[in-house]
Amino acid sequence: MTTYIMLINWTEQGARNLRESPKRLDAAKKELEAMGGVFKEFYMTMGEYDMVAVCEAPDDAVFARFGLTMGMKGNVRTRTLKAFSESAFRELIATVS
């Protein structure tokens, strides 16, 4: 599975309905699970982003579909980073000439 880091901000609509956020997170976890992925970690953060999620999915297309699905609901805006593990990092660096 591929690891993705999702940087999340509430939209105006999401902030207005802030108290519903835990239920929306539970629903998002179920949606990603149904697509074959999983939330590994989730954090509410202070600073530029309101939340950060570390997720795994079978491939880029699955996680792209998940991100689009989240955006369509109108409660959050996301930015996604594809992440490489430390071992993958070491392998990649070893191949650089």
Q: In what order do the strands lie in the sheet with 2-10?
A: 38-44, 51-57, 2-10, 76-83
pTM of the model: 0.91
- Can you read off the two tokens belonging to residue 45? 């953060």
DSSP state of 20: G
Collapsing DSSP states into helix, strand and coil, what is residue 37?
coil
Burial class (CB in 10 A: 0-12, 13-18, 19+), 34: exposed
Q: Name which CATH class applies to 2-94.
A: alpha beta
Domain ranges of the chain: 2-94
Distance CA 6, CA 3 (A): 10
* pLDDT tens sequence for the chain (97 residues): 999 999 999 999 999 999 999 999 999 999 999 999 999 999 999 999 999 999 999 999 999 999 999 999 999 999 999 999 999 999 999 999 8
Collect all residues with Cβ–Cβ distance below 8 Å to 74 and sequence separation of at least 6: 11, 13, 14
